[in-house]
Structure 1
Amino acid sequence: MLIVFLCFVIYLSNIIYLGTPPTEPVNMAGTLRNVGRLVPNRSALFLCDLQEKFRPIVQYFPEIVAISGRMLHAAKALNMPVIITEQYPKGLGRTAAELGIDKYLDIKPVEKTQFSMCTPEIIGLMKSKYPDVDTIILCGIEAHVCVQNTALNLLENNFNVHLVVDACSSRSLVDRMYAYDRMKSSGVFLTTSEAVILGLLGGSLHPKFKEIQELIMKSAPDTGLLSMRSRN
């Protein structure tokens, strides 16, 4: 009986093998999904129009600037390119002082009048000086105007875009909420400041870990995101 049973098992095994041969290994190169992994030497920080005249009218302006300051510090510590714009500074004032750009002599805000940060000057700079950068981390105001236009233009120029949702705002929280939905539907990654900072580090063995960890030891200030989600 044992011999008969073993012969039966071998017979079934042959049927299964012949019917469903082993799958050959598949080379996934070129078909990998873009999951938005952040790598410092391929990423740049864009800070959009964080100007003084917006302080009394943009929701959570001080908190947005404070979180953008964290992003600026992290980007500089990781030797990432930083682009800062000012929308019509003659009328809307200069970048808020607490952002701390005066500490960095190599940063000079770019003046603009169009809504998008993607001026010919800035796109030309990114392509010529930083050709390896394919990912933009975006903060600023207003979410539904200059930030949204910037995000869409960046996508059209083949950049991945990570929108730091706790570092962007508008005068209206409704405009802010629907701008986020609009950008997400177009392919923008929505994320938070802490997620970006830790994602750039990749782990505690990074040589800048202790320095950058200080930025997030205290939780980022509230910028009304939970109240926005409760409206849905």
Structure 2
Amino acid sequence: MLTPEVRAGIASLNSLNSRLSCVIVGIESHICVTQTALDLLSEGHNVYVIADGVSSVNKEEVPIALARLRHAGAQVLTSECWMYEVMGDAKIAEFKEIIKVVKESAESTKEALQSLCKI
């Protein structure tokens, strides 16, 4: 999914040619998500794949894709883990807003993670 337009957008964001931190969610974890993550990794970027934010028509593909990406150097984590990690400190004002999002999405997050863990 790193089309010329996306690459141009990355270049404009990354004028210092430093490593970007890229968060990946999407469908067809074993195709689009994997290829995008591998491309970003090969270009030296930090890649975070949100496990409960990816899917596939064939649910069996998801854990295989996540294992492959983890082995390739991507950080595979849950949406809740990523949100708290990005916040960094419970003392900042935005933390209370993130807690609301976590609570509001708790049931759907639980269902997604249970689906991943059954495979």
TM-score by length of 1: 0.46
CA contact (8 A) 2:47 2:75 kept: yes
Partner of 1:123: 7
Q: 1:211 is matched with which residue: 91, 97, 117?
A: 97
- Give a deviation string over 1:85-118, Cα, whole Å, max 9, x none: xxxxxxxxxxxxxxxxxxxxxxxxxxxxxxxx21
Q: Distance in 2 between matches of 1:155 and 1:167?
A: 19
Where in structure 2 are the equivalents of 1:31-46 lying within 5 Å? none
Partner of 2:54: 168
Structure with the bigger percentage of helix: 2
Where in structure 2 are the equivalents of 1:54-203 lying within 5 Å? 117-131=1-15, 134-203=20-89
Unaligned runs of 5+ in 2: none
Percent identity for Structure 1 against Structure 2: 29
Q: Distance in 2 between matches of 1:205 and 1:183?
A: 33
Partner of 1:227: 118
Q: Offset at 1:133? A: 6.1
Q: Offset at 1:130? A: 3.9
SS in 1 for 2:100: helix
Q: Offset at 1:199? A: 0.4
SS in 2 for 1:139: strand
- Give a deviation string over 1:29-67, Cα, whole Å, max 9, x none: xxxxxxxxxxxxxxxxxxxxxxxxxxxxxxxxxxxxxxx
TM-score by length of 2: 0.86
Unaligned runs of 5+ in 1: 1-116
SS in 1 for 2:26: strand
Q: Distance in 2 between matches of 1:212 and 1:175?
A: 30
- Distance change (3 Å), C-alpha of 1:195 and 1:182: same
Q: Distance in 2 between matches of 1:211 and 1:133?
A: 28
Q: Offset at 1:198? A: 0.4
Q: Distance in 1 between matches of 2:86 and 2:50?
A: 13
Find the structure with the greater CA-based Rg: 1
CA contact (8 A) 1:144 1:170 kept: yes
The 4+ residue runs of structure 1 with deviation greater than 4 A are none
Q: Distance in 1 between matches of 2:79 and 2:100?
A: 14
- In the alignment of these two chains, the number of paired residues is 112
CA contact (8 A) 1:126 1:133 kept: no
Q: Distance in 1 between matches of 2:14 and 2:96?
A: 27
Q: Offset at 1:141? A: 0.7
Q: Offset at 1:137? A: 0.8
Q: Which moved more, 1:117-126 or 1:128-137?
A: 128-137
Q: Distance in 1 between matches of 2:93 and 2:19?
A: 21
